[in-house]
Amino acid sequence: MNPMTVREAMQQASRFFESNNIIDGPFLAEYIIRHCLEWDRTAFLTRLQDPLPEDSWGKIKEIMERRANGEPLQYIFGEQEFYGLPFHVNPSVLIPRPETELLVEEALQRIPEIFPEDQTIVVVDVGTGSGAIIVSMAVFGSPRWKYLALDISPDALKTAESNARSNGVGQQISFLEGDLLSPFQNGTVPINVLLSNPPYIPSGDIAGLDTQVKDHEPLSALDGGQDGLDLYRRMINQLPPVIGDKAFVGFEVGMGQAEDVKAMLEDTGLFQETYIIDDYAGIGRHVIAIRS
């Protein structure tokens, strides 16, 4: 019997996903095969007629079956790219999403407009998870800034610390275990930049989420209470004693929540400017508040 070629493996994998009603079967098949063979796309496209290495098909099938059972590829492979950087991910942390990159981009663009170049500012990421936001800020922001990451989950903090080290900024970020802004309530460290992508899915909507999300990503990183806004209310109520004289606040929010969160921030009377940033689908995804 002739050995299976890479093309034949691709065809079998695509049919498997199609028979399991999984969309983007050819994309998934190529991604899994390339990952198992450690090939880039050019190698894959030019070597489709090559025989598949004997020990590869079993590994490919195992990953296909795990994906068919709803497990996200990011958890299977243990990695996800964010803002051009590699991040380790596991079921203790939310998988970083592309739309969150827009929050980092806006912060990096606006912060130099608010603060003098030589000022040492405090940048805080609440609910850091994998550390995607704070690590990206530390890599692409100023070495003069102080970076702090908070999470209530010790396992998430371990993952974030590991990602900070692997991206070369482990010494620049301090990691704190705590509930939202509670560690800052003594007011000794004013927050100049506050970034957060907190849980924002209404409790009643969790059951209707895609299997990849509801059955595999941490519930604590998804459930935002009855209307999804519980953590915004709590965090914004904690702001007055901890916010700096000048500040940039950026929250990621769920669909239909941007105006409510913007109003909460405006009601504090702390900010001179508030606005909403849409994501790639045109949905209001980030609420920005600036104190100048």
pLDDT tens-digit map of 27-41: 899 999 999 999 988
Tell me, yes or no, whether 74 lies in a domain.
no
Q: What pLDDT is attached to residue 188?
A: 73
Clarify whether residues 285 and 169 are in a common domain: yes
| Final residue belonging to a domain, choices 24, 39, 69 | 69
Clarify whether residues 123 and 211 are in a common domain: yes
| Final residue belonging to a domain, choices 46, 69, 92 | 69
Question: Which parts of the chain have pLDDT scores under 70?
Answer: 1-2, 187, 200, 202-225
| Final residue belonging to a domain, choices 36, 69, 102 | 69
Clarify whether residues 133 and 88 are in a common domain: yes
Clarify whether residues 112 and 33 are in a common domain: no
Q: What pLDDT is attached to residue 154?
A: 94
Tell me, yes or no, whether 253 lies in a domain.
yes
Clarify whether residues 37 and 95 are in a common domain: no
Q: What pLDDT is attached to residue 270?
A: 94
Give the range of the structural domain holding residue 219, as residue numbers without chain letter.
80-291
Tell me, yes or no, whether 211 lies in a domain.
yes
Clarify whether residues 113 and 184 are in a common domain: yes
Clarify whether residues 151 and 11 are in a common domain: no
Determine contact, residues 133/104, Cβ cutoff 8 Å. yes
Q: Which residues of 62-96 are buried (b: 16+ CB within 10 A; e: fewer)?
A: ebbeebeeebbbbbbeeebebbebebbbbebbbbb
Q: What pLDDT is attached to residue 284?
A: 95
Clarify whether residues 13 and 132 are in a common domain: no
Q: What pLDDT is attached to residue 206?
A: 65
Count up the domains in the chain and report the number: 2
Q: What pLDDT is attached to residue 211?
A: 67
Clarify whether residues 158 and 59 are in a common domain: no
Tell me, yes or no, whether 42 lies in a domain.
yes
Tell me, yes or no, whether 197 lies in a domain.
yes
Q: What is the pTM of this model?
A: 0.88
Clarify whether residues 152 and 235 are in a common domain: yes
Instruction: State what percent of residues in the chain have pLDDT above 90.
Output: 67
Clarify whether residues 96 and 177 are in a common domain: yes
Clarify whether residues 89 and 45 are in a common domain: no
